[in-house]
Structure 1
Amino acid sequence: MADEAEVQSFLTAAGWHDASRRPLAGDASARSYERLTRGADRAVLMKAPDGAEIARFTRIGYWLAEAGFSTPNVLARDDAAGLLLLEDFGDALAARHLDATPEDEPALYALITEFLADMPRHPPPEDLPLLDGPALADLLDLVLEFYPCTDRAAADALKQAIADKFDTLPAWKPVLCLRDFHAENIILLDRPSLRRLGLLDYQDALRAHPAYDLVSALQDARRDVSPRVETAEIAHYCALTTTDPGAFQLAYRLLGLQRALRILGIFARLTIRDGKPQYLEYMPRVYAYISRNLADPALADLAELFHAAYPAPDPNLISDLRRKCPTSPTP
């Protein structure tokens, strides 16, 4: 991460050395953000651990902008220092808007679905990683490292079963997948149609099944989305893309299982390794998504393996994880 001297040099070269700086709320990553204010002008300074992340963010941002979507303009960048100066999209987070006006939930998620349904019209860069069956299984390795496991053999069998089940899905065409696409990473802008959605946090984009980002949006680890809205938007997506609802539903539930299980591992890692225990409060919601997805009869074999391998994040398990957090007070 860049030190203060590097930051000052970067801001001077960009013409923002005289701006006031205020930290912005961070996320689960190692990145940090500051809002810069200079009179009526504002910008956002992103500090990343390395230049590769800056390069990925910039590349995907340009791709999305060329496809007609809203991403912040790059005002200045220094890949070597891991610094990026961006257009400030403001504070109108979709998540905060929904908290204040919950009656807007159906319309906003309909717009999100329409954005995702438009994505297949834009072929993704061929050199991006492909999230296929083996890749989905590999991404679950961190769960075994950080989340309690009661049966390692069942956990290994579950990984393989997810990969195998995914590879039996009907043929599908990869789309650009933002991967961490949810209401905390969308800024609502005063722009028309799909451009109303200001996109953030897309540096880890890859090629994946079209259902992945819809799961990410509708099974949000940080907030409850109405089951009625979830059901409606799955049907909405299928209608917009003329996708077979049965095949899509299976892919959605399978990816929802894989994604939620990985999130349990990520939240455990954030607690144990990174000293961020605040993510523990989301674990029961994430586990409920797993249960909802495994209720699909087509995933009955996976349900048996999952319940053999992993305990529910009950208060005792969460307390045990909290005790392992390096920043938690010593009892």
Structure 2
Amino acid sequence: MTTTLPDGIDSFLVAAGWGGAEIQPLAGDASFRRYFRILANGHGPAQSAMLMDAPPPHEDPRPFLHVGQWLSGHGLRAPAIYAENADRGLVLLEDFGNARMRDYLEDAPQDEYRIYRAAVDTLAALHRLPPGPFDPYSLEVYQREAALFVEWFCPAAGVEVDAAGYAAAWREVLGPVIERQNPGVTVLRDYHAENIMLLDDGGQGLIDFQDALVGHPAYDLVSLLQDARRDVSPELERAMLDHYRAATGANGEFEADYARLGAQRNAKIVGIFARLWKRDGKPRYLSMIPRVWDALERDLAHPALAPVAAWFDSNIPGFVRSERGGGLE
């Protein structure tokens, strides 16, 4: 966690009506974004706020502002925006507090079913809306994400693979997904227990949604239920899948697409975590790979993943799979 303050923060806070406020740096994530809690000194419109520092050229807060405005306009709980200077990457926004879903459940595991059911209900409400004004989750995007596995994990593991065959297998597997995601729903793309805030009024606040696209409703559900950062039991996953289907009337093909997108997402995440280690010097993500790999193997067992499963059988050595991809060092 860095304590270096963003350039221009004092003048930005003064202009926003928060001059003289206390500034507390918070732990960051896997991106270049940084966050600070701003504690009012008797002048702000609330007791506290969050400052997002999304510095160019690495970051651009405009997509966050765009998606957040759309979510709030449709009754979902994105943070209110108090002030912004997009050119400098500074956004002052509503403070949702410290009760992240993941942290809350560490202290209150008995509430797991209730909290996950509420998170699924939030998704069901989002999916009843017309899709937002966002780019499509195209086959090209799916392919580019899945390719992170062969681009980053496989070299890190010392495995030479058939990259062209990998791409071909994914084209075959994802074709039906593309056909069934029209007109599609808004996909937040990082919907999981670290990005859901439990609010004092009982609602659930959404964060980290700046990469939203229009795609398949199974994507965010699998992001929630096959969480890279938190164990979700097969029993809870099954119960929440059933609850979502009952709430939305999702048809019989939904679970095949859920497995397809689960495998795609999990392959992507394994690649991203390897990249965070090799390129960005962040080895802490390596410890999460076995959990993601477990979910990937479950998805590959679905008949809808047969072409990709065959590629894994031919290209990924048994010792890598038995270690659940966790043998990087």
State which of 87, 98, 106 in structure 2 corresponds to 1:99. 106
Does 2:191 align with 1:181? yes
Residue 236 and residue 5 in structure 1: after superposition, are their counterparts in 2 closer, same or farther (change >3 A)? closer
Report if the CA contact (8 A) 2:262-2:299 is conserved: yes
Q: Tell me by how many angstroms 1:138 deviates.
A: 1.7
Distance 1:101 1:296 in 2: 33
Distance 1:161 1:317 in 2: 20
Distance 1:96 1:3 in 2: 26
Distance 1:5 1:117 in 2: 41
Does 2:173 align with 1:165? yes
Q: Which residue identity lines up with residue 48 of structure 1 in the other structure? A: A
Residue 313 and residue 74 in structure 1: after superposition, are their counterparts in 2 closer, same or farther (change >3 A)? farther
Does 2:288 align with 1:279? no
Report if the CA contact (8 A) 2:16-2:83 is conserved: yes
Report if the CA contact (8 A) 2:56-2:88 is conserved: yes
- TM normalised by structure 1 equals 0.88
Q: Tell me by how many angstroms 1:162 deviates.
A: 1.9
SS in 2 for 1:168: helix
SS in 2 for 1:183: coil
State which of 76, 85, 102 in structure 1 corresponds to 2:92. 85
Distance 1:283 1:171 in 2: 30
Identity fraction in percent: 42
User: Who is 2:21 aligned against?
Assistant: 19
- TM normalised by structure 2 equals 0.89
Residue 156 and residue 43 in structure 1: after superposition, are their counterparts in 2 closer, same or farther (change >3 A)? same
Q: Tell me by how many angstroms 1:286 deviates.
A: 0.5
Return 5+ residue gaps in structure 2 as ranges. none
Written as runs of structure 1 = structure 2, the 5 A alignment for 1:234-249 is 234-244=241-251, 246-249=252-255
Distance 1:287 1:42 in 2: 39
User: Who is 1:290 aligned against?
Assistant: 296
Distance 2:166 2:324 in 1: 24
Q: Which residue identity lines up with residue 304 of structure 1 in the other structure? A: A
Distance 1:304 1:82 in 2: 45
User: Who is 1:326 aligned against?
Assistant: none
Report if the CA contact (8 A) 1:178-1:213 is conserved: yes
Residue 308 and residue 65 in structure 1: after superposition, are their counterparts in 2 closer, same or farther (change >3 A)? same
Does 2:239 align with 1:219? no
User: Who is 1:28 aligned against?
Assistant: 30
RMSD: 2.1
Structure 1 residues 91-149: Cα deviation after superposition (integer angstroms, max 9, x where no partner): 011001111111111111111111111122221234x2211333211222332322125
Residue 143 and residue 298 in structure 1: after superposition, are their counterparts in 2 closer, same or farther (change >3 A)? closer
Distance 2:20 2:107 in 1: 35
Structure 1 residues 75-96: Cα deviation after superposition (integer angstroms, max 9, x where no partner): 1100110010111110011001
Report if the CA contact (8 A) 1:46-1:84 is conserved: yes
User: Who is 2:310 aligned against?
Assistant: 304
Does 2:48 align with 1:42? yes
User: Who is 1:197 aligned against?
Assistant: 204
Q: Tell me by how many angstroms 1:181 deviates.
A: 0.6
Distance 1:95 1:318 in 2: 23
Report if the CA contact (8 A) 1:92-1:188 is conserved: yes
Report if the CA contact (8 A) 2:25-2:36 is conserved: yes
Report if the CA contact (8 A) 2:226-2:262 is conserved: yes
Distance 1:227 1:167 in 2: 27
User: Who is 1:59 aligned against?
Assistant: 66
Distance 1:48 1:215 in 2: 28
